[in-house]
Amino acid sequence: MSSRGLREACFKFYEAARRVIAPDLKYAQWAYEAALWERSEGKDRWLDLGCGRCLLPTWRHDQEPNLVKRARLMVGLDYDHESLVDNTTIGCLVRGDASSLPFANETFDLITSNMVMEHLNDPKEQLKNIRAALRPGGELVFHTPNAHGYGPVFSRLVPEAIKNRLIWFLQRRKEEDVFPTFYRINTPADIQALAAAAGFEVASLQMVASSPIFIMVPPLMVLELLLIRLIMTRAGWRYRSNIIAVLRRPR
């Protein structure tokens, strides 16, 4: 069986197993996309921080133009030049990072960030920079892993020598798309504390379960689905794999 055929077979098995074990489970990117649609309503100037090659996952690329055009001005910022070159949806692209945003104060109504906050090395100061770029009443919406989830715990146990190969096998992410992670703003308590220190209000904090990591290893995937079903209960909320947070700059 070809590599593509194997992946297709594993995903078909996953869908069958999910319908039996955790029928309410959805990929966390769906919840993040829903948050973008909700929070971009009425926003005039929008910055996507760490925009990379796309605003949404590649399999939702066709929906990106509809989302982007809701803002009169849409800007994408990323430090990785190659990612900016590959971004075909956002018209205004800027190279930079959250440590020194190249924008005037109070420029944006909305700043969003998808799987970027875990890479911030100094989130308190970087949140202050983000707050300065927001207009009063503006919002920061970000999607990031939960440091108390099993994914980051597993990642810390994997030897660096094989980590990139494992990520490619499980997720088809190339080595150049894997960046250092610090997980310094990746628990509800950390978000609350750092938001307050940077002058933000926490408007919303959602703990979200997501698809298994080990879809390509069916026996492990079944065990993982059983674990996910457990953390989807009210008692397991703090261990859900992902966080979607909305921080607001006070008026």
Give whole-number Cα distances, 6 to 13, 88, 173, 250, in Å: 11, 30, 17, 51
Tokens of 188: 């509800």
Q: Which of 101 and 173 is assigned the larger pLDDT?
A: 101
pLDDT by residue (tens digit) across 112-136? 999 999 999 999 999 999 999 999 9
In order, the DSSP letters of 193-239 are HHHHHHT-EEEEEEEE----S-TTSHHHHHHHHHHHHHHTSGGGGGG
pLDDT of the residue at 73: 96
**pTM for this structure?**
0.92
| Residue 158: pLDDT over 90 | no
Helix spans in the chain (H) = 3-21, 28-39, 64-68, 81-86, 123-133, 150-157, 160-171, 188-198, 218-231
More confident residue, 210 or 165: 210
User: In order of start, what are the domains of the chain with their CATH numbers?
Assistant: 3-43+101-248 (3.40.50)
Give residue 5's pLDDT: 80
pLDDT in the model for residue 170 = 59
Among 130, 109, 105, which Cα is nearest to 46's? 109
In tens, the pLDDT along 201-240 reads: 999 999 999 999 899 889 999 999 999 999 999 999 999 9
Q: Give the closest residue to 140 by CA, choosing from 119, 105, 113.
A: 113
What's the pLDDT at 19? 96
What is the full DSSP assignment across 177-204? Answer: G------SS-SHHHHHHHHHHHT-EEEE
Inter-residue contact 27 to 210 (CB < 8 Å): yes
DSSP state of 87: -
